[in-house]
Amino acid sequence: MEKAWKIDTIRWETYLGALERCSIPEEKWRWYVRWAERFAAFLGERPLETAERSDVEAFITSLSHSLRIETWQVRQASDALRILLVMGFGKRWGEGLGLSDTDSGAPRWGSFSPFTLFEKPLCHGGEN
């Protein structure tokens, strides 16, 4: 029998508080934490707090090129990382992170650019 996945509330305490302040519904928190964990794995041995804009861009680009990842999932991952990096680690550069549609490098999505997702306000009332 497979063990149910649970959020490590000690490790992610600050992040969970940020998700709550951003009105992300609690039933979606596990997905946001999973994106944060995937990003942490993407960084390898580097701590999350050392992440730079180029790391986020590379991660989101890799997601946008995956055939198993839907557009809404890229959007959710983008939101998850914005909240993590801006509210969790004070990375102010995350607030305005964005590239034009023509710079997306993701022809699979047509005119969709995963980086334009960062241009909306940080906390948008939990529309995710």
For residue 126, give the H/E element and its range.
Answer: none
Query: pLDDT, tens digit, for every residue of 55-71?
Result: 998 999 999 999 899 98
Read off φ and ψ for residue 6, nearest 5 degrees.
-130, 150
Please report the pLDDT score of residue 63 as a whole number.
93
Name every residue whose Cβ is closer than 8 Å to that of residue 112 and which is 6 or more positions away in sequence: 64, 71, 101, 104, 106
Query: pLDDT, tens digit, for every residue of 84-126?
Result: 888 887 877 666 554 333 334 443 333 344 444 444 556 654 4
Query: pLDDT, tens digit, for every residue of 34-45?
Result: 999 999 999 999
